[in-house]
Structure 1
Amino acid sequence: MRVNRIIFYDEPSVPEINLDNLVEFTSKTFGITPEKRKSILTYGNEATAKHIASSRIFKLSVPYIKHVPTAEEIEFEKKSAADTSTNQNITYYDGFELQNILRDIIPKEESREDVFHVIFTNKLTCTYDYNDYRYHGRALIGANPAIISTTGIIEAPAKPRDYYVDLITNSRLGVNVDALKEKYREMFLEYHDARLPTIIEGYLLQALFYYETAEPFCDDAKCRLFNAHWQKDLLYSQMESKKLCKKHQEILQKLTMT
């Protein structure tokens, strides 16, 4: 592996990330014991808040255009850096732009190829897809630093089709959304879901594989590197199968031998 040092940056508003568990998982899987740090936002400054506010997305059908933030938006990002639990409403951020902003926070002496940074955040990262000309939420923004969005894990993979049909049908009747979620409770992830620690392990695997091989995903739905677009596929690959396919297990063995 070209990586010999890994640094995790916490998202304190999501205790399910469980950095201690991820450190143990990474150590067992890759033979490297990561360092744990506070939220990367705590290492930023007022300029960082302004830059992050400028990476917000308001028109999902338009490729990235740098936003000119208001004073209120900048103030929100400053408060969010001090207390990330203030992110109650879902705001879209351009994933690559946010990645560049957060990369600038990392000390130059640690901005090396052999030091891999993994940033956990509750901000919803998105990328623009020219196949359908719109932004999509993403759980993972690859490269270094890698960003794993806990909100992206919840919101990006689609829920069951029947859920959306029921939601549209019953919303006209004033049916409680919480009751509807209860009906489909085991079929998709929710915020602070007990399954999140295991799911996050899978995204960490994808982040490391992408950085080491430039190929993060697998076509095999049983593999933890499967790029799930539906919650049911995510839960199957990460919770039921919970393993790498033969091809990627062999790649992992080669990586950890070098």
Structure 2
Amino acid sequence: MVETVTLYRAPTTPADADALAAWLRGRVDAEVRVRDRLLGTRSDDDLPEELAAARVTDPSERATGNTMLGIVRYEERVLDDPERAGGVVYDGRAVQRALNARLPGEQGLDHLHLPLLDRVIGTWGGHDGRWHKRVAVLGQPALVSVPGLYEAPAKPEAYYEAKSKHALMTGDAPPREVLEAELDGDFLVADDPRTTEALRGYVIAAVDLLESGTAFCDDERCRLHDAHRQPGVIRAQLRDPPFCETHAERYG
């Protein structure tokens, strides 16, 4: 039984941890708290090297990490100044282990830690031998990647069709902003005003895993569904009904 949920802010993103906590309080029988950025408050001298070791350096290579001095120094800088972070994918399980070790006395499953991250995280796909970006890596702590919300789910087919058409006509890849303007509303983009609402399902799914032992929901209409395409994210997180029948009884 989850007795306490602690969300951690990601101040460089539009995700509102306080609003998510307020929404969660009305749906779970647990105390819901909010703390400042976990990567900032639980950092130590070893964390930069552990993050460097968790870097995905090749999308088709299982091995991760580049712990050269310059990379470790970069990780030190972005821990202090998260505005500098970007362009890197991290092994979500490795980051999860690193952060779990920095929750002294609070690793028990009765206290779920739920950091909103300003980093992109991924998991290795054994079925196709590639790394895949993820919105969430559930467990303890449950990692929710804000940039992953925009980058992990595949965009609608129209996006890729417009991208190919533009490249054929000009010989260059179109600016991302051009494509986003052409297909406004069909998918989530960086700093999207719908970010906080769209993260609700991933947050409550993290609680549900510890409560029920089940990760995510198979019903594509449910907030707890882990959609792999942007139209699916829009349908699950921003359209009615908010929950399937089973999860509506639990959280509706």
TM-score (norm 2): 0.93
1:29-51 per-position Cα deviation (integer Å, ceiling 9, x unaligned): 11333221111112211211111
SS of equivalent residue, structure 1 residue 57? coil
Q: What is the CA distance between 1:62 and its match in structure 2?
A: 2.0
1:134 aligns with 2:130: yes
Q: Is the 8 A contact 1:8 1:118 kept in 2?
A: yes
SS of equivalent residue, structure 2 residue 128? coil
Q: Is the 8 A contact 2:57 2:66 kept in 1?
A: no
Corresponding residue of 1:113 = 109
Greater mean alpha carbon deviation, residues 186-195 or residues 16-25:
16-25
Unaligned runs of 5+ in 1: 254-258
SS of equivalent residue, structure 2 residue 27? helix
**Residues 219 and 73 from structure 1, CA distance in 2 versus in 1: closer, same or farther, beyond 3 angstroms?**
same
SS of equivalent residue, structure 1 residue 36? strand
Q: CA RMSD for the aligned pairs? A: 1.6
| 1:81-100 equivalence runs, <5 A | 81-87=79-85, 89-100=86-97
- Give the structure with the higher percent helix: 1
Q: Within 2, Cα distance between the matches of 1:58 and 1:66?
A: 6
1:195-225 per-position Cα deviation (integer Å, ceiling 9, x unaligned): 0110111110111112221212222211111
Q: What is the CA distance between 1:160 and its match in structure 2?
A: 0.9
Q: What is the CA distance between 1:113 and its match in structure 2?
A: 2.0
Q: Is the 8 A contact 2:55 2:66 kept in 1?
A: no
Corresponding residue of 1:34 = 32
Q: What is the CA distance between 1:252 and its match in structure 2?
A: 4.3
Q: Within 1, Cα distance between the matches of 2:166 and 2:179?
A: 9
Q: Within 2, Cα distance between the matches of 1:156 and 1:73?
A: 24
1:167-208 per-position Cα deviation (integer Å, ceiling 9, x unaligned): 133135144432221001211111110101101111101111
Q: Within 2, Cα distance between the matches of 1:100 and 1:201?
A: 24
Q: What is the CA distance between 1:58 and its match in structure 2?
A: 1.1
SS of equivalent residue, structure 1 residue 35? strand
SS of equivalent residue, structure 2 residue 239? helix
1:78 aligns with one of 76, 79, 95: 76
Q: What amino acid sits opposite 1:141 in the alignment? A: V
2:148 aligns with one of 140, 149, 152: 152
**Residues 181 and 252 from structure 1, CA distance in 2 versus in 1: closer, same or farther, beyond 3 angstroms?**
closer
Greater mean alpha carbon deviation, residues 172-181 or residues 109-118:
172-181
Segments of 4+ moved more than 6 angstroms: none
Greater mean alpha carbon deviation, residues 110-119 or residues 210-219:
210-219
1:124 aligns with one of 120, 126, 130: 120
2:67 aligns with one of 57, 66, 69: 69
Corresponding residue of 1:201 = 200
Q: What is the CA distance between 1:66 and its match in structure 2?
A: 4.4
Q: What amino acid sits opposite 2:183 in the alignment? A: Y
Q: Within 1, Cα distance between the matches of 2:238 and 2:176?
A: 26
Q: Within 1, Cα distance between the matches of 2:112 and 2:176?
A: 40
Q: What amino acid sits opposite 2:220 in the alignment? A: A
Corresponding residue of 1:186 = 185
Q: What amino acid sits opposite 2:142 in the alignment? A: A
Matched residues, number:
248
Greater mean alpha carbon deviation, residues 235-244 or residues 65-74:
65-74
Q: Is the 8 A contact 2:198 2:237 kept in 1?
A: yes
1:167 aligns with 2:166: no
Q: Within 1, Cα distance between the matches of 2:55 and 2:175?
A: 31
SS of equivalent residue, structure 1 residue 218? coil
Greater mean alpha carbon deviation, residues 47-56 or residues 70-79:
70-79
Q: What amino acid sits opposite 2:45 in the alignment? A: E
